[in-house]
Amino acid sequence: AQKITQTQPGMFVQEKEAVTLDCTYDTSDQSYGLFWYKQPSSGEMIFLIYQGSYDEQNATEGRYSLNFQKARKSANLVISASQLGDSAMYFCAMSFYTGANSKLTFGKGITLSVRP
Amino acid sequence: KAGVTQTPRYLIKTRGQQVTLSCSPISGHRSVSWYQQTPGQGLQFLFEYFSETQRNKGNFPGRFSGRQFSNSRSEMNVSTLELGDSALYLCASSFNGEGYTFGSGTRLTVV
């Protein structure tokens, strides 16, 4: 079974500084995908970044980068130059690659607050 | 291109009633999955449909059901509503399982 662990209950960061949100995962599968989503108070889940288990390079998308350490089973999200609009819940999630089993397993989420 | 559309955005129902939620995926996406989000349980997978067939199902009672139409639009139905069914219901569409785009969700309140 897949499991995602996000243990930081809440994070605070000063505007324009970088912040790292932690995510560890557990799976016995070799082929999987890792995602980070942002959920503002409006409720919509906004895709941020994706890392495949066979990708050798860490994924980057603008101010977001994923620090993927496969041996340690961690997939931390790094947000550079935080903005006030980054205040939201952040979810780490994992999926299988098999065509017959397509679902996301989510962590509990982390609340990020950006201070001006 | 248009994103994932969920209707309605908000819904208030009485215990014992039934409810139907709708999700229109991104054009070309054949996979639609549904998730329930509550403060206590977090985000939980309900079911996934692909080409009108339920391909995967989460651990929810039979009161929760769904279907997918030939145009990939999906509906989920909850019968005999309970107070604990109050939640944000999110739908996600995917082309190949490597990317999931979510709708804005339907916030259901059961009173």
pLDDT digits (tens, 9 = 90+) for A36-91: 999 999 999 999 999 999 988 999 999 999 999 999 999 999 999 999 999 999 99
Q: Tens of pLDDT along A14-29? A: 999 999 999 999 998 8
**A86: three-class secondary structure by DSSP:** helix
Burial A67-99 (b: 16+ CB within 10 A, else e): ebeeeeebbbbbbeebeeebbbbbbbbbbbbee
C-beta of residue A82 within 8 angstroms of C-beta of residue A106? no
Asked if B42 lies within 8 A of A37 by C-beta distance, the reply is: no
Whether residue B98 and residue A103 make contact (CB cut-off 8 A), yes or no, is no
A97 pLDDT band (50/70/90 cuts)?
low
The pLDDT > 70 percentage for chain B reads 97
Look at B55 and A100 and tell me if their CB atoms are within 8 Å.
yes
The nearest CA of chain B is from the CA of A5 a distance in Å of 12
Q: How many CB pairs under 8 A join A and B?
A: 66
